[in-house]
Chain A
Amino acid sequence: METYHGKSVLQGIAVGRLYVIEKKESSWTKMTITDADEEVMRFQKAREEAVSQLDELYQEAMTQVGEENAMIFDVHKMMLEDLDYLEAIENRIRTEMVNGEYAVTVTGEEFAAMFSSMEDEYMKARAADVIDISARIVRVLEGREEPGLHSREPVIILADDLSPSETISMDKTKILAFVTKHGSANSHTAILARSLNIPSLVNTDVEITRDYHGKEAIVDGVTGCLFIEPDEETLAVKKKEQDAIRDKEEKLKLLIGKENITKDGRKINLYANMGNVEDVGKVLESDAGGIGLFRSEFLYLGRDSFPTEEEQFQAYKEVVSRMEGRKVIIRTLDIGADKKADYFGLDPEENPALGYRAIRICLTRQEIFRTQLRAIYRASAFGKVSVMFPMIISVKEIREIKEIAADVREELAKENIPCGEVELGIMIETPAAALVSAELAKEVEFFSIGTNDLTQYTLAIDRQNQKLEPFYDSHHPAVLKLIEMTIQNGHKEGAWVGICGELAADDTLTETFLDMGLDELSVSPTYILKLRDKIRSIG
C-alpha cells in the first residue's frame, strides 16, 4: 500500500480504480529515415489503430447522440481510408525519406489548405477535419492517448491538473473522485468536485505515472489521504467510514421541504450554483430555492464556435422551465482569464486576471453580448429569470448595459417574441464595485457578491497559485468589511444582496452573514441541506 497526502476539497470517501490522465505534449521532430518500407508499415499500423478508434467513437456516438451526429466519425474514418490522402503520405515517406509524423502532418496541412481555399464556408470548415484525422494518426504514432476520460465504469481520476475545457467533455457519472498533483482549493477541479459532491484532493504529493492506471485506490477527503493498492484492513475501515458519511447525508435529506430559518426567526434564501444544463437535476434534488448563479460560460466552453442564439435559448429555457417558477439568475458570459476558448481569438495576456475578460469582452464585442441577451430574454417567457453581469467596476458600465438590454428587449417586442419580467443585477467581485456600491445600488435590483474574485483582488493573491495559499485568508477582515459595506449600501436603495462565491458555503461564517443582513446564499447543490441544518441551529 502506498499513501500520499493532498489538500482535501470535500469531506467524503471514494473507493475505486485509478484513471491516469497524462498530459503528453506532442514532441515529434522531422527526421530522416533509412528504411522507407518499415516507416510505411509503421504509418499503416497507426492508421489502422486510428480507424478502429473512430469505429469505437462512432458506435459510442450512435448510442448517445444518434446516427445523424455520429456520421462525422464515419466520414473521418473514410477520410483515413482515402487513397489520395494515403498515397500522398506514402509517397512523401518514400521520396523524402522522412518519418511518418512529419509526412502525415505536412500532407494533412496540404489537404487542409485545399479545403480552406474553397469558396464555400462549409467546405472551408472541412479543413479542420483533415487536421483532426492527421493529428489522430500522429497521436498513435507517438503513442499518446487521446486526452479525456474514456472509461466504462466510474473511476478516480489522477492527473497533473485539469482545465475546464478538459473536464467539460468528461462524463460526470464516470467520476468517483479527482486527485491532482497541482491545483489549489480554488482551482476549477476543486470547484467542479464540490459541485459534483465527490471527494477530491489537490496539491497531492503523488507522481502522475502510467503505472498507477487501473490500480485500486481510496481517496479519503476527511484526512486528505490517497491510498494506492490499500491493504484489506484499510479498505475495511474506509468502507465503514464511507457508509457513515452516507448515513449522515441520508439524515440531512429529512430537511427537504423545510424552511431556512434560524431559531430566532431570521430567514435567508438558499440558492444553488450551476454550470452545465445537466446540473439542474442536482439543483432540484438539493431542494434549493432557486438558482443563484448559472455560469453561462459553460455553454461557450468545450466547443469550437460560438453557441447560436437558438442553442442558448434552448439551454436557458430548459433550466428555467425545469425550475418551475423558482428564480434562475443567469450570469452573462464570464470568459477570459483562466476560462478560455480558442474561437474567441483572445490574445495572450501578461496579467489575465486583470485583463480582457467578462463584461469587458461583452461591451466591446457587442454582437456576442446581444445574442446572449436575446436568448436570455426569450427564455424569460418560461419562468422567473434574473440576469447579472460580471466584473463590474463602474456606474458607467451598468448604464451602458442597461441601454443594450432595453434595446434588445425592444427588438424582441417588435418581432412579437414574448419576454417575462427580468430582474437586473450585478456581481460585486472587484473592490471598486464594493466601494461604489452605494451608487451602483441605484441602478440595479440586486447584488451578488462573488467572493472568489473579490478576495483575490482585495488581497492581491492569485488563487491559482498554490504557493500563495499560506497567505490566502478567506476570512480576511478587509474582505468581510467590503461584504458588509455592499450589503448596507444595497439595502439603502432597496436592492437585495446575496453571495455566490465559495465563501457562501463556509458554515463558520453563516451566522456572521445573517447578522450582516444578507438576503441570499448561493452554493453548490451539495451544501444546500448542510447550510439549512446550520441555519436552523442558529439563534
Chain B
Amino acid sequence: MKTVKYVITDPIGLHARPAGLFVKKAAEYQSNISVKNMENGKSVDAKRIMAVMSLGVKQGNKIELSIEGADEDTAEKELAAFLKENL
C-alpha cells in the first residue's frame, strides 16, 4: 500500500469541479484508492464523486490517499503530481 499526503492549496478546496477532475483521475487506476480528510478523519472511496465532495475539503486541509493494488506505484506518482498541479 502506498500513501500520498497533500495540503490543498486551491482556494475553493476540493469542490465540485476540482473534485470531478480528481475523481476522474483516480478512476484511471485499477488500485483501490481512498481519500481521507485529516481534519475530520473521514475517509471515502476516491472514485466516488459525491462521497469525495461530502468530505468538505477546504483550502489548507490535509488529505491522505491510500492506494492499494497492482498499479499502486504509478498511481502514487501520478496522483501526487496531479494534486500538486491542480489542487
Residues of A bordering B, CB below 8 Å: 71-72, 74-75, 78-79, 81-85, 111, 114-115, 118-120, 122-123, 126, 129-130
Q: Which residues of B contact A71 (CB under 8 A)?
A: 17, 20
- Find out whether the CB atom of B58 lies under 8 angstroms from the CB atom of A79: no
- What is the size category of the interface that chain B forms with chain A? 10 to 19
Determine whether B53 belongs to the interface, using a CB cutoff of 8 Å to chain A: yes
- Find out whether the CB atom of A123 lies under 8 angstroms from the CB atom of B15: yes
29 A-B contact pairs sorted by A residue (CB < 8 Å):
A71-B20, A72-B17, A75-B16, A75-B17, A75-B19, A78-B20, A78-B23, A78-B24, A78-B49, A79-B49, A79-B50, A81-B49, A82-B50, A83-B47, A83-B48, A84-B50, A84-B51, A111-B50, A114-B54, A115-B53, A118-B56, A120-B13, A120-B56, A120-B58, A122-B12, A123-B15, A123-B56, A126-B15, A126-B53
Q: A78-B23, A122-B13 are in contact. List 12 more A-B contacts (CB 8 A).
A: A71-B17, A72-B16, A75-B16, A78-B24, A81-B49, A84-B50, A111-B50, A114-B54, A120-B56, A120-B58, A129-B16, A130-B50
Q: Which residues of B contact A72 (CB under 8 A)?
A: 16-17
* Cα distance A123–B13 in the bound complex, in angstroms: 10
- Find out whether the CB atom of B50 lies under 8 angstroms from the CB atom of A75: no
- Find out whether the CB atom of B17 lies under 8 angstroms from the CB atom of A85: no
Distance of A121 from chain B, by nearest CB (Å): 11
- Find out whether the CB atom of A82 lies under 8 angstroms from the CB atom of B56: no
CB within 8 Å of A: which B39-87 residues: 45, 47-51, 53-54, 56, 58
Distance of A108 from chain B, by nearest CB (Å): 11
Distance of B86 from chain A, by nearest CB (Å): 13
Distance of B72 from chain A, by nearest CB (Å): 21
- The 8 A CB mask of B6-25 against A (1 = contact, 0 = none) is 00000011011101100110
Distance of B60 from chain A, by nearest CB (Å): 13
* Cα distance A93–B15 in the bound complex, in angstroms: 30
- Find out whether the CB atom of B49 lies under 8 angstroms from the CB atom of A82: yes
- Find out whether the CB atom of A119 lies under 8 angstroms from the CB atom of B56: yes
Q: Which residues of A contact B50 (CB under 8 A)?
A: 79, 82, 84-85, 111, 130
* Cα distance A84–B50 in the bound complex, in angstroms: 8
Q: Which residues of B contact A75 (CB under 8 A)?
A: 16-17, 19-20, 49
- Find out whether the CB atom of B56 lies under 8 angstroms from the CB atom of A126: no
- Find out whether the CB atom of A123 lies under 8 angstroms from the CB atom of B20: no
